[in-house]
Structure 1
């Protein structure tokens, strides 16, 4: 099974002060996709610069030619499907059909209360996500959509001419629970995981591999229930959140070993963070460049 290598570039630098350089460099290094986080602010970056995902991807689309671009991930925390669909159709057009929408249920970070609401419980997030994804699917594939749900409404929402990619741009659905897995199986062209968060602090790499194996099996079950071949769904691991932490990025050999183990599990795409000095994503840039350019050849 072939493997792709992608990167996620945090939108924390002004475009004309180096923020745009990473995107063009990602294309030069041969990454399959360059994603960015769709947050209003994020973790330790909360009190520093942080720019919007859609404008950032629009600028990246203008600065690149072949590189796929996407969010990892967009969530209902501060998004509504109707204006989001219009932005995504526009972005897909600007990029010439190079956009992937990573989409998830969201969490209890800063986005969860930025609009003045109380943070939703896990069940409330799952309920909203279960309505958000199918409505967004319709908005991106139908010229006119009317809908009245428990959380979202659309009244003759027009989305002409639709996406460049047909029938719409691909969804990469982040999910680990049964309801999210069903959404990935029904609506996704890819499934995204960061591993089992319960293992991050005290788990082992071996336990992480077994947890990921279990997630992949549950995804297969969700596909089987819908009569879908799970082989037609890409499996994406966003790295940096498993118990390995920074160990796979210490050297090219270490990453090739990490990549090989996860390729054997069935993952088709690994996403690594663009290096940020003095952060959790600090990395020797020479090692990063070697990982980007040599990993796939080493695994061939």
Structure 2
């Protein structure tokens, strides 16, 4: 049992770094994923994850696999796409989800093209799928800092962020915090996606946000518990995914997301809040 569960983390420094990285990602991305689910923006998160790619690619062209350059590029591109899609939706008759889809497709194609101009297939795979087993001190510090900042912002602005997620019209009617809260929410999404990008790549970063949040929805209706379950699922998925990757030799990023997907599937089947098994069980009729 020691060799199966503890040995890989006790013996190898790269596994300990990866463990800290995925735990930090789970703690920061879990609550943000819950807010995105409340806003019905689950697929929009995927679009925003790919929006990071052109900026990260520009940073790669300018400085290679440089943490600072790719992070700044990803942040700029993420904010540009999020705000640009919102502006198009407000200035035209196009809905925001369609605008995000258009920006997502353009961003993905442009990012792949830019990386391919200078880099190799290995560099492209690094950008698309991440290298969670190769996190260095600087990258680990960035991920932990993003998670810490996320928790601090959520602690300070939790109520307006939740209100802006579930009933933005009511928040605008009683306060001027609606627009600032929306911008803060977008900032949390983009920064956590940038942190996830360095570990899991642009194609898988959003998985640590949305799959745990979707799984948690089948276990509780209470918001605080929903956040707690989401964080728990994200962290456990990260640890189990790393162990599966180590013992089987499969890539670590996909292993982590597939474990989170397994947790979602189990939640759909056995969750006490709307799970399939509970729905199929016969119910007693109300007695007069």
TM-score by length of 2: 0.29
* TM-score, normalisation: structure 1: 0.28
Q: Which has the higher helix share?
A: 2
Structure showing greater relative contact order (alpha-carbon pairs closer than 8 Å, 6 or more residues apart)? 2
- Larger strand fraction of residues: 1
**Larger Rg computed on CA atoms:** 2
